[in-house]
Structure 1
Amino acid sequence: MDKNQQGIQYMQEGKWEEAAKIFMEAIDENPEDAVSYINFGNVLSAVGDGERALKFFLKAIELDENAGVAYYSVGNLLFEKEQFDEAKNMFEQAMQKGIDHGDNYFMLGISLMQLEQGKLALPYLQRATELNPQDAEAAFQYGLCLAQLELIDEAIKQLQQCIELDEEHADAHYNLGVAYGFKEDVQKALAHFNRALVIQPDHMLAGYGKKMIEKQA
């Protein structure tokens, strides 16, 4: 087992110090290997040191401009800093460099949603749900995007899929309440607002939605 493989095993075991040490040894032994920089950056990200992690991911890109995973990792760090446009660019580059997994499509989609570009986000969020069909949050965000584009019936299907995967997803119940309210199905709207409030009693939007629906009932 080489040092990168050993380091990854340490990460899987939660042994962050051991992982960091062995990745640093790998970098010292082969300073032109982008993979070691990516792995060390992943350790730094995992322990909350995003600023240092960013430097290692950027070094990996400098060494290998086709290191798609590094672009994805930089995108995540930029997203956390709410630099959504820069994050979007990184996720797009990751895709161009061959990263074809659901998480990248998901992050690209929600970056575009943060930039209020729902129509552009839609196909990426759809692809994320296709690649990660058991991901409740992907289903939720896709449903939310559909709802924002007023594709209500399609949104309901995705939000229902979300709560099938995660029955305790309060925001999915709230948004189902809104969707059913839009369709003037008072009973279903009220049921979902109530469920959101059972899960999260301080869900202010669900409480407001419930009051509005009860006025209509």
Structure 2
Amino acid sequence: MENNQLGINYMQEGKWEEAAKVFMEEIEKNPQNPVSYINFGNVLSALGDQERALTFYKKAIELDENAAAAYYSAGNVYFENEKLEEAKTMFETAINKGLENSDTFFMLGLTLISLEKSTMAIPYLQRAVELNDQDAEAYFQLGLCLAQAEYIEEAINQFNQCVQLDPDHADAYYNLGVAYGFKEDSKKAMEMFNKALAIQPDHMLAGYGKKILES
């Protein structure tokens, strides 16, 4: 088994030191291979050493400006450190370089939401759920964006998809309650608030929504 694959196997098993050792050996053996730098950066990132991880992603990009995975990984570091404009640029570049998977579209959507550009996030989150129809959180975030844009029926559809995949998603039930309340269907709204509270009894917003309906 070649080193990069061996290192990835170690990462999947949570053997970070072994993974780091293998990737470093690969970098020393093939210093022009950007993949090893990305992999080593991913180990550092998983261990919380974000700053050093970023230097390895940048090195990978120096070696290959089309290394889409390096832009994606750098985007994650920037996002976690709330450098949202930098994260947005990295995720957009990753997509432009051909990394068109659900995670990249989802992270770009999430970044736009954090930048308070939720309407702009909608097409990216739609693409994320098209590429991975098992991602409950992507449906949830898409539902939130649609609700904020007052596409209530479409938002309800997304929240329903979310709870089908994750029946314990209290926030999705709460937002379904809000959406049905917006449609003046108080019976359905109450049902949804109750479901949220059954999952999470201290869900303050669902409790508050229920009180408003009861009064």
Matched, 1:112 2:112: yes
Q: After the TM superposition, which of the residue ranges 47-56 and 159-168 deviates more from structure 2?
A: 47-56
| Unmatched runs of 5 consecutive residues or more in structure 2 | none
Equivalence for 2:151: 151
- Calculate the aligned-residue CA RMSD, in Å: 1.0
Equivalence for 2:62: 62
| Unmatched runs of 5 consecutive residues or more in structure 1 | none
Shift of 1:118: 2.1
Equivalence for 1:211: 211
Shift of 1:48: 2.1
* 1:167-178 alignment, distance < 5 Å: 167-178=167-178
Equivalence for 1:71: 71
Shift of 1:142: 0.7
Superposition misfits of 4+ residues, deviation over 4 angstroms: none
SS of structure 2 residue aligned to 1:198? helix
SS of structure 2 residue aligned to 1:180? helix
Provide the C-alpha distance between the structure 2 equivalents of 1:2 and 1:170, rounded to a whole number of angstroms.
44
Equivalence for 2:90: 90
Equivalence for 2:179: 179
* 1:25-36 alignment, distance < 5 Å: 25-36=25-36
Q: Which amino acid aligns with 1:76?
A: N
Shift of 1:119: 2.2
Deviations 1:57-84 (A, max 9, x none): 1111111110000100111111111121
Q: After the TM superposition, which of the residue ranges 154-163 and 75-84 deviates more from structure 2?
A: 75-84
Q: After the TM superposition, which of the residue ranges 78-87 and 180-189 deviates more from structure 2?
A: 78-87
TM-score calculated relative to the size of structure 1 = 0.96
Shift of 1:114: 1.3
* 1:4-19 alignment, distance < 5 Å: 4-19=4-19
Deviations 1:127-178 (A, max 9, x none): 0010010010011011111001000000000000000000000110110010
Equivalence for 1:51: 51
Deviations 1:33-70 (A, max 9, x none): 11000000111122222222111111111111100001
Q: Which amino acid aligns with 2:111?
A: S
Shift of 1:191: 1.2
Equivalence for 1:20: 20
Q: Which amino acid aligns with 2:177?
A: G
TM-score calculated relative to the size of structure 2 = 0.97
Deviations 1:17-46 (A, max 9, x none): 111001001111111211000000111122
